[in-house]
Amino acid sequence: MWILLVIILSQPFQVGSVEILGIFLLENQCESERVRAVDLGPPDKMNIGCLKIEGVSLTHGNRAL
Protein backbone atom coordinates (compact mmCIF):
# COMPACT_ATOMS: atom_id res chain seq x y z
CA MET A 1 0.00 0.00 0.00
CA TRP A 2 1.28 3.47 -0.88
CA ILE A 3 0.21 6.76 0.69
CA LEU A 4 0.62 10.12 -1.04
CA LEU A 5 1.54 12.65 1.66
CA VAL A 6 1.99 16.38 1.75
CA ILE A 7 4.14 17.79 4.55
CA ILE A 8 3.76 21.50 5.29
CA LEU A 9 6.59 23.19 7.19
CA SER A 10 5.73 26.02 9.58
CA GLN A 11 9.31 26.92 10.52
CA PRO A 12 12.62 25.91 8.94
CA PHE A 13 12.82 22.76 11.10
CA GLN A 14 9.22 22.23 12.26
CA VAL A 15 6.39 20.32 10.64
CA GLY A 16 3.18 22.35 10.59
CA SER A 17 0.93 19.57 9.34
CA VAL A 18 0.85 16.31 7.40
CA GLU A 19 -2.05 15.54 5.07
CA ILE A 20 -2.88 12.34 3.18
CA LEU A 21 -3.75 13.14 -0.43
CA GLY A 22 -4.43 9.55 -1.51
CA ILE A 23 -4.00 5.84 -0.83
CA PHE A 24 -2.88 3.52 -3.65
CA LEU A 25 -2.18 -0.18 -4.04
CA LEU A 26 0.60 0.32 -6.61
CA GLU A 27 3.70 2.53 -6.45
CA ASN A 28 3.30 3.75 -10.04
CA GLN A 29 -0.23 5.00 -9.29
CA CYS A 30 1.05 6.97 -6.31
CA GLU A 31 4.01 8.35 -8.27
CA SER A 32 1.72 9.45 -11.12
CA GLU A 33 -0.46 11.41 -8.69
CA ARG A 34 2.63 12.86 -6.98
CA VAL A 35 3.89 14.20 -10.30
CA ARG A 36 0.45 15.67 -11.01
CA ALA A 37 0.39 17.38 -7.58
CA VAL A 38 3.92 18.79 -8.04
CA ASP A 39 2.96 20.12 -11.49
CA LEU A 40 0.28 22.27 -9.81
CA GLY A 41 3.09 24.33 -8.26
CA PRO A 42 2.88 23.84 -4.49
CA PRO A 43 4.35 26.51 -2.17
CA ASP A 44 8.03 26.35 -1.21
CA LYS A 45 7.31 25.13 2.34
CA MET A 46 5.47 22.06 1.09
CA ASN A 47 6.88 18.60 0.31
CA ILE A 48 4.90 15.92 -1.53
CA GLY A 49 5.92 12.27 -1.65
CA CYS A 50 4.87 8.64 -1.68
CA LEU A 51 5.36 6.48 1.39
CA LYS A 52 5.21 2.69 1.39
CA ILE A 53 3.16 1.18 4.22
CA GLU A 54 3.53 -2.54 4.97
CA GLY A 55 1.55 -4.86 7.21
CA VAL A 56 -1.75 -3.02 6.81
CA SER A 57 -4.98 -4.87 6.06
CA LEU A 58 -7.50 -3.56 3.59
CA THR A 59 -10.55 -1.98 5.22
CA HIS A 60 -12.92 -3.70 2.79
CA GLY A 61 -11.32 -7.13 2.96
CA ASN A 62 -9.05 -9.29 5.05
CA ARG A 63 -6.01 -9.53 2.76
CA ALA A 64 -2.84 -8.04 4.24
CA LEU A 65 -0.66 -5.97 1.92
Instruction: Classify residue 3 by burial, with Cβ atoms within 10 Å: 0-12, 13-18, 19+.
Output: middle
Is 6 a residue whose pLDDT tops 60? yes
Between the two ends of the chain, the Cα-to-Cα distance in Å is: 6
Instruction: Write down the domain spans for the chain.
Output: 2-52
| pLDDT the model gives residue 62 | 52
| pLDDT the model gives residue 54 | 87
Q: What is the DSSP letter of 64?
A: B
- Going 16 to 18 to 19 to 21, the CA torsion angle's sign is positive
Structure pTM?
Answer: 0.74
Higher pLDDT among residues 52 and 60, named by residue:
52
| pLDDT the model gives residue 55 | 81
8 A C-beta contact, residue 45 and residue 9: yes
List residues bridging with 15 in a β-sheet: 9
Q: What is the pLDDT of residues 12-54, one digit of tens each?
A: 789 999 999 999 999 999 999 999 999 998 888 899 999 999 8
- 32 SS3 class: helix
